[in-house]
Structure 1
Amino acid sequence: MLYSFFLLAVGLIVLVVGGELLVRGASSVALRVKISPLVVGLTIVAFGTSAPELFISVQSALEGSPDLAMGNVVGSNICNLALVLGCTALIFPVPVHRDSIKIDWPMTIGSSLFLYFLIHDYLISAIEGTIFVLCLTIYTTLIIIKSRRENHKGAEILEEADLPEKPSKNVWLDVAFIILGTLGLAFGSDWFVDGAKSLAISFGVSERVIGVTVLALGTSLPELVTATVAAFRKATDIAIGNLLGSNIFNILSILGITSVIQPIDVNETIVSEDMLWMLGITVIIFPMMHFKRRITRLEGLLLLLIYSSYIYWVVQTR
């Protein structure tokens, strides 16, 4: 069991470092060829921050563990809106911008409902995965077109990700970052998935339970750390937009790309139970977003109680 936790910890660290290196290298190369900071922020940075989840899902599907792939995405979405948003709001209330209500939330619930009705045959096929990727491409393109009116938007995204607005001075260093980042993601995902599978065997639980709890929490830790640090600094302005965007990307990109590579068999329990929790939490935050246009500390506490209830329910019904 200790070896399983060791694999999980090392795999997660290598995944996070690998994703960071890939984003830094790819962003610098993109800026070097005159791609605008806005496009870099909305594409490369968004993809890079979700790269660990993508590699984990692909690795899980290829190794014949679709419950880990699907559970990781659904569990991460629940974790983002209940645990991460709850912790952030409990530390410092989270303001809600108009775009989050008019664009991000409708897209989040829309992609979630689309996924829910699509997987009632308990399979995400390559064709359905392609549709997800096309939807993400259209959504990202529309966001870029809209954001071009806000010239500061790209700078804000890069600043939030702690990335420079100009390319580095050494192109070979950028290439090295991309190669090392990709290798880190490949090896890290392999170790992380192996650790998760070993943990499931050790505890005598299903891979679905490990997917929606351990894997989901592990891959959401970077968002949790970033959001809570921002909350302590009282800089939570873009927290909810980032979390909703992450949920959209998890569904359309991670499940989309994974199913194109390897169709995903979906556990019946994930469809009938976990997905309903994910949809329910997404619906619950909508009136919270409307009320005074901020998520209050009391609402943050409520979200944490909901997440605790979900974890308790998963463990009890394993």
Structure 2
Amino acid sequence: MRVLKKFFSGDNLLERVLILIVGLVASLILVIKSADLFVDNLVDLGSSLGISEVILGVTASAIGTSLPEFGSALIASLSGSTDIGVGCVIGSNIWNIAGILGISSVVAGIIETNADGLKRDFSATLVTGLILLFFMFFGNIGKIAALVMVLTYAVYLWRLIKAQKTYSDENSGKNEREPLDLKKLALTVVGFAGLVIGCRILVYTGVELADIAGIPAMIMGLFTLAIGTSIPELVVTLSSAVKGLHELSIGTVLGSNTFNILVGIGVPALIAPVPVERLSLTFDAPVMILVTVLLVLLIRQGDMKLKRTGGIVLLAVYISYVIMRLFVLA
């Protein structure tokens, strides 16, 4: 943080704003290029190891791209800025579905999935949201809620391991696996490192610009930090959808949303109680659950496909949410 603060400092406000904007654009380019590298090589590695695309999406890709949200929530908890942490996670989850999948389906034209993967990962995402909402009714999210969340994520991982075993048994002997390519492994790590570094700079410059503009902490968490920390999901999901890796695309978003709550809120809550703002309970969390259900309805209505029209509906819902949150309920 000190290095970034020193690097992006200026002699006056105008110079500092210009440096921050340049840093924002440069980090965005780094994130996009790194995500492309990460996706291509991650898929190849998964094929070499015999891991299904959807499992790869909800584990390695989802957890990897969710680290910025987790880091932001953890740092916010340790520094006492817990409003930012909760807002960042809830806002990020709404953006992941309504914004990221909306944009990806509009650009790619269509995102396909299968019934088994959707049922397992959607149910996990929905139950996760309901667990969070349940504990929010009791006020601060404390250690008991945190333990339930972390244990729930452990159960979800166990289900994924069982699903992967089934996939491996069904596909054993069908396709000859290629040997593990260490170069692809190295490129995957390089791509991920680029994502982490690029996102850290992206979030820092975005937050600093928002702070200069006088944006409140909760709004900063819901939108500035939420969208900023979700850039990895956006570029990975969009890149996957355009490349035709639809299950990786859907899996990254649903797996990321599950991880964001159960680990992104659960672990910080083990350290210090996470306070719940009234609007987060009465509006933000219900909207998060609403868009999750809406996503599945649109996919089922589209015969297991999220079509461009469905993407437009999701984007319209997100824009409506932003307007309501910023100008009506603020």
Instruction: Tell me whether the two structures share a fold, i.e. TM-score over 0.5.
Output: yes
In the other structure, the counterpart of 1:283 is 293
Cα distance change, pair 153–87 in 1 and its aligned pair in 2 (3 A)? farther
2:100 equivalent in structure 1 = 84
Q: Report Cα offsets for 1:176-212 as digits up to 9, x if no partner.
A: x79x96xx969975x7776566445433332111111
How far apart in 2 are the matches of 1:262 and 1:63? 10
Alpha-carbon contact 2:128-2:258 (below 8 Å) kept: yes
For residues 263 and 32 of structure 2, the distance between their equivalents in structure 1, rounded to whole angstroms, comes to 18
- How far does residue 135 in structure 1 lie from its aligned partner after superposition? 0.6
The counterpart of 1:218, out of the listed 216, 228, 241, is 228
Which of 133, 145, 159 lines up with 1:116 in the alignment? 133
Structure 2 distance, partners of 1:134, 1:19, is: 30
Mapped contact 2:237–2:248 kept (Cα < 8 A): no
Change (3 A) 1:47 1:21: farther
Match of residue 104 from structure 1: 121
Residues 7 and 99 (structure 1 numbering): CA distance in 2 closer, same or farther, change over 3 Å? same
| Matching residue of 2:313 | 302
* Aligned residue in 2 for 1:151: 168
Q: Which of 56, 67, 77 lines up with 1:51 in the alignment?
A: 67
The answer to whether structure 1 residue 166 and structure 2 residue 201 are counterparts is no
Shift of 1:312: 2.1
Secondary structure at the counterpart of residue 262 of structure 2: helix
Contact in 1 for aligned 2:36/2:236 (Cα 8 Å): no
Offset of 1:71 from its aligned partner? 1.0
Contact 2:206 2:228 in 1 (8 A): no
Aligned equivalents of 2:135, 2:102: Cα separation in 1: 29
Report the counterpart of residue 244 of structure 1 in structure 2: 254
What is the match of residue 313 of structure 1?
A: 324
Give the drift of 1:215: 1.0
- 2:69·2:230 contact (CA, 8 Å) conserved in 1? no
Q: Can you list the C-alpha shifts for 1:140-170, whole angstroms capped at 9, x where unaligned?
A: 112111221212999xxxxxxxxx973748x
Structure 1, gaps ≥5 residues long: 24-30, 155-163
Return 75-84 or 254-263, whichever deviates more. Answer: 254-263
Q: Give 1:275's aligned amino acid.
A: A
Instruction: Count the aligned residue pairs.
Output: 298
Q: Structure 2: which 5+ runs fail to align? A: 1-16, 40-45, 172-177
Residue equivalent to 1:270: 280
Q: Does the 8 Å contact 1:86/1:299 carry over to 2? A: yes
Residue 218 (structure 2) aligns with: 208
**Distance apart, 1:64 and its partner CA:** 1.7
CA RMSD of aligned residues (A): 4.0
Asked if 1:135 corresponds to 2:159, the answer is: no
Q: Which moved more, 1:283-292 or 1:208-217?
A: 283-292
CA distance in 2, matches of 1:60, 1:82: 25
CA contact (8 A) 2:139 2:276 kept: yes
Secondary structure at 1:265 match in 2: coil
Cα distance in structure 2, aligned partners of 1:276 and 1:195: 30
TM-score (norm 2): 0.74
Kept in 2, the 8 Å contact 1:19–1:49? The answer is: no
Aligned residue identity for 2:88: N
The 8 Å contact of residues 89 and 260 in structure 2, kept in 1 or not, is answered as yes
- Larger CA deviation: 110-119 vs 88-97: 88-97
Q: 1:47 to 1:231 in 2, by over 3 A?
A: closer
Over the matched positions of the two proteins, sequence identity in percent amounts to 28
Alignment check: 8 A CA contact 1:59 1:193 kept: no
Q: 1:61 aligns with which of 77, 83, 86?
A: 77
